[in-house]
Homo-oligomer: A and B are copies of this chain.
Amino acid sequence: MNGRPPAEQTLELSAFVPFRLNRLATGVSQYLAAIYQARFGLDIPQWRVMATVGEVACTAQYIAASTRMHKTRVSRAIVELEARDLIERASNERDRRERQVRLTKAGRRLYTELVPLALERERALLACLAPQQLHGFLEGLDVLERFLGLDAQP
């Protein structure tokens, strides 16, 4: 034993992976915002609902599980999109609690215009990675998602 105080561990935030992931996610969101926000007047919840419903008509419940958004956030996004006539809801006579959400004609038009832009924007972002780097990054992403149970399908 000696008189020195115990060496104190320090945490450099800019090297702390959880912080870096938060910062990256925010940065990427801003990188994309110009497309769905400025150009189409959608916020993130609305855009996620559009993207989900564009694949297949489904219930609000399914959207919430699939996007991992809180059901109230989904509910409000749906109300707003319906007011803009981008989506519509059909009652299910078999279970009158739920309603099928699907794109309207105008919603389909917006979706068809928006999706290629979003995919192109994603491509432009990932183009900063060499093919080998991209592969490694996505592999890590896969494993982390599985570890945290984020990949579980609804």
Q: A112's contact among B8, B66, B68, B144, by CB below 8 Å, is which?
A: B8
User: Copy number in this complex?
Assistant: 2
Contacts of A13 in B (CB 8 A): 48, 51-52, 55, 66-67
- Interface presence of A11 (CB below 8 A): yes
Contact A9 to B116, CB < 8 A, known contacts A16-B51, A23-B150? yes
Q: Which of A9, A119, A135 has the most CB of B within 10 A?
A: A9
Contacts of A144 in B (CB 8 A): 24, 28, 125, 128-129, 137
A28 to B134, CA, bound (A): 21
- Interface presence of A40 (CB below 8 A): no
Contact A32 to B51, CB < 8 A, known contacts A24-B25, A24-B144? no
